[in-house]
């Protein structure tokens, strides 16, 4: 039984105790990154939803604070966002969240903070945006500036069951005018949750900005897809009123099983789009055997658009502390090493692998801890597909749908570079500088990890590994 033997992540946020799901209210304000999150203050099961709170100066070390917005009788506090105040009122933060009332009714409410985000005052007129419906939720507020120097607030929120995103605008962050709706499109049999809309320059060209709509989709109903929840995105245009998609489908955002409800920070330095997601899946989130905490956030990811095969594709890059650790790590070329090549890692590690697919043939990396479980990454040079499999009896014991294989199709025309971040039960793989990602929960037990690297043609492969652990006392 793996319960109690899931190591707490060292460089990702986890709450000290109890249940966590979506990141909420991500905002950078006066030198601090604020993370709020869907939180049950009383148990490690979903329920009593409130906003927990944590802050970080570097997106690596987090400090947890008291609950920021607390559920009350008849009303839970569901997901939403925060915006830092306009220049005129520097100390004001405004939060928008979903009031989920017990009588099957969801509407948008606001709260303000004057002390830098630690205490919040819900507005006396809540809910301030109400359609009288039961699945209207997850407000995300962005600032829209038109080409003529005018600007206003835009709210996106979903009608989850209808697979629609509704757009509203406001000048005062209180009264909202309906603008348009987008959807449905893509898979049926899912609800849409946690939208975000992010302007990104294609290949860094500021004259070619596209808008990327991010969505989280969760299968519902009796024959729901057992793969469970995942995120998608679609690139398009936004003119301040409506969003027009360039494609008729959502593109999968992360190829693992465990990346959901990802949204970006408001007011990040340099206008960067920095996203955090919840590393779990509604299919089995409640069964994950960590204690006394349940739920972890992803590494922060900086979003950009890169032209791949003629079309703009979302790129997710790792934060600077990851690159700094790797730059300081010893790199070795394992050509000529005895094969298979084995090495030992701590359970909180970064590994970088780089190789030319045609010179190595099939490549396989296996990771084993002291639980009866195996993680295997396999790259097939013919199809250029990367497969990440988690299996073994310790994984099977988590949930009948937990064992899985994630597949990632990589670009053909280049060497392959993989960055693996393993932090306790969190395995995030970034391929080719963030062109593809795959995030999966794994249970490998405690203690060191035995890694075995093998190829069918034996090298050369350059391997960089860095053991990373956060300072003592970090959340
Ligand atoms: C997404 C979600 C949101 C909702 C929240 C409730 O994971 O279902 O739509 O606001 O979680 O905890």
Give pLDDT tens digits for 66-84. 999 999 999 999 999 999 9
CA distance 303 to 359: 32
pTM: 0.97
Q: Which CATH architecture has domain 18-317?
A: 5 Propeller (2.115)
- pLDDT tens per residue across span 384-394: 999 999 999 99
Q: How far is the CA of 232 from the centre of ligand 1 (A)?
A: 16
How far is the first Cα of the chain from the last one, in angstroms, to the nearest whole number?
A: 25
Specify the domain boundaries for CATH 2.60.120.560 within the chain.
Answer: 327-467
CA distance 428 to 411: 19
> Considering the chain, what is the average pLDDT of its residues?
95
CA distance 51 to 192: 21
pLDDT at 24: 98
ipTM of the complex: 0.99
pLDDT at 87 over 70: no
- pLDDT tens per residue across span 195-209: 999 999 999 999 999
Residue whose Cα lies nearest atom 9 of ligand 1: it is 193
Q: Identify whether the C-beta of residue 143 lies closer than 8 Å to the C-beta of residue 136.
A: no
Query: Is 103 designated active site?
Result: no
- pLDDT tens per residue across span 365-409: 999 999 999 999 999 999 999 999 999 999 999 999 999 999 999
Kindly state the percentage of the chain with pLDDT values over 90. Answer: 87
Residue 26 phi/psi, 5-degree rounding, is -65, 120
Specify the domain boundaries for CATH 2.115.10.20 within the chain.
Answer: 18-317
Starting from the edge strand earliest in sequence, which strands make up the sheet with 63-69, in order? 63-69, 50-56, 32-40, 18-29, 293-294
CATH number of 327-467: 2.60.120.560
pLDDT at 475: 42
* Ligand 1-lining residues (CB < 6 angstroms): 21-22, 38, 49, 78-79, 98, 137-138, 193-194, 260-261
């Amino acid at each position: 039984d793996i319960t109690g033997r899931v190591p707490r992540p060292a460089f990702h946020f986890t709450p000290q105790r109890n249940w966590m799901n979506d990141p909420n209210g991500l905002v950078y304000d006066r030198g601090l990154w604020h993370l709020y999150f869907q939180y049950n203050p009383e148990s490690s099961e979903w329920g009593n939803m409130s906003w927990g709170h944590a802050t970080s100066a570097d997106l690596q070390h987090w400090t947890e604070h008291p609950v920021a917005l607390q559920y009350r009788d008849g009303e839970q506090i569901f997901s939403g966002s925060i915006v830092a105040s306009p220049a005129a009122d520097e100390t004001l933060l405004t939060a928008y969240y979903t009031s989920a009332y017990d009588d099957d009714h969801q509407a948008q409410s606001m709260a303000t903070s004057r002390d830098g985000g630690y205490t919040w005052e819900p507005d006396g007129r809540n809910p301030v945006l109400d359609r009288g419906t039961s699945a209207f939720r997850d407000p995300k507020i962005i600032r829209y500036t038109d080409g003529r120097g005018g600007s206003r607030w835009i709210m996106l929120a979903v009608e989850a069951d209808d697979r629609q995103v509704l757009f509203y605008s406001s000048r005062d962050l209180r009264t909202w005018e309906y603008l348009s709706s987008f959807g449905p499109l893509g898979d049926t049999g899912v609800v849409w949750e946690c939208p975000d809309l992010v302007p990104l320059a294609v290949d860094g060209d500021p004259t070619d900005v596209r808008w990327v709509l991010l969505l989280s989709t969760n299968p519902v109903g009796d024959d729901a897809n057992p793969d469970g929840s995942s995120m998608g995105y679609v690139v398009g245009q936004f003119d301040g009123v409506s969003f027009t998609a360039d494609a008729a489908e959502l593109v999968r955002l992360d190829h693992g099983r465990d990346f959901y409800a990802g949204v970006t920070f408001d007011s990040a330095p340099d206008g960067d789009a920095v996203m955090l997601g919840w590393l779990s899946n509604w299919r089995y989130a409640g069964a994950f055997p960590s204690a006394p905490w349940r739920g972890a956030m992803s590494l922060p990811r900086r979003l950009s658009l890169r032209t791949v095969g003629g079309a703009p594709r979302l790129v997710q890059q790792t934060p600077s502390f990851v690159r700094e650790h790797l730059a300081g790590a010893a790199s070795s070329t394992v050509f000529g090493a005895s094969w298979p090549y084995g090495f030992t890692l701590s359970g909180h590690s970064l590994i970088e692998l780089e190789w030319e697919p045609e010179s190595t043939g099939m490549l396989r990396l296996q990771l084993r801890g002291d639980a009866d479980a195996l993680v295997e990454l396999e790259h097939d040079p013919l199809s250029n597909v990367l497969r990440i499999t988690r299996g073994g009896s310790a994984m099977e014991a988590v949930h009948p749908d937990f064992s899985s294989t994630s597949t990632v199709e990589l670009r053909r025309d280049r060497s392959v570079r993989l960055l693996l971040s393993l932090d306790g039960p969190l395995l995030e793989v970034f391929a080719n500088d963030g062109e593809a990602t795959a995030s999966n929960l794994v249970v490998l037990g405690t203690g060191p990890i035995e890694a075995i690297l093998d190829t069918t043609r034996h090298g050369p492969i350059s391997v960089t590994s860095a053991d990373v652990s956060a300072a003592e006392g970090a959340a």
